[in-house]
Amino acid sequence: MNAYERFEQVVVLALGLIIAAIIVMALLQLYRRVVPLLIGGAIDPLDHNVFQSMFGAIFTVLIAMEFKHSIVRAALRRDSIVQVRTVLLIALLALSRKFVILDSAATPASTIAALGFATLVLGFVCWLLRERASRNAA
């Protein structure tokens, strides 16, 4: 590896450590908030608002984990630093999280339509990238 590639690897590893620390902190906070409420019966997971809140927090941890995974892959030199498909998939996860925590009664229809359109476009671009990769492999 040349000097710049080593520099990239050091930066990627540092980012991976920072994101890992954030994931651990988020997981501990989620555990600290949710488990005592579940054990004490003070939380009803079937309540719509509670469901949105809990799964929004879980999605946040999952998004951070996927982001870290993409960085670790770059550190191991399996892929280049920027993977467009991975960024698109993380964006789709973020939109999925938004749909889970969205209060449809208080959100204007135009906002829901815009989020739906953004999801459709991101999915289409992911499909195009996959098709291109399939053609290149064949």
User: Cβ distance 71 to 19 under 8 Å?
Assistant: yes
**pLDDT for position 68:** 87
Angle between helices 3-40 and 48-75 (to 10 degrees): 160
**pLDDT for position 123:** 93
Least confident of 8-17, 82-91, 107-116: 82-91
For the segment 109-123, the average pLDDT, to the nearest whole number, is: 94
- Tens-digit pLDDT profile for residues 29-86: 989 988 887 787 777 767 777 778 888 888 889 999 988 888 777 667 655 555 788 8
Q: How many domains does the chain have?
A: 1
Burial of 129 per CB tally in 10 Å (0-12, 13-18, 19+): middle
d(CA 15, CA 13) in angstroms, rounded, equals: 5
User: Cβ distance 89 to 126 under 8 Å?
Assistant: yes
For the segment 86-93, the average pLDDT, to the nearest whole number, is: 88
Q: Tokens 């997981």, residue?
A: 27
Q: What mean pLDDT value characterizes the chain?
A: 85
Domain containing 77: what range? 3-137
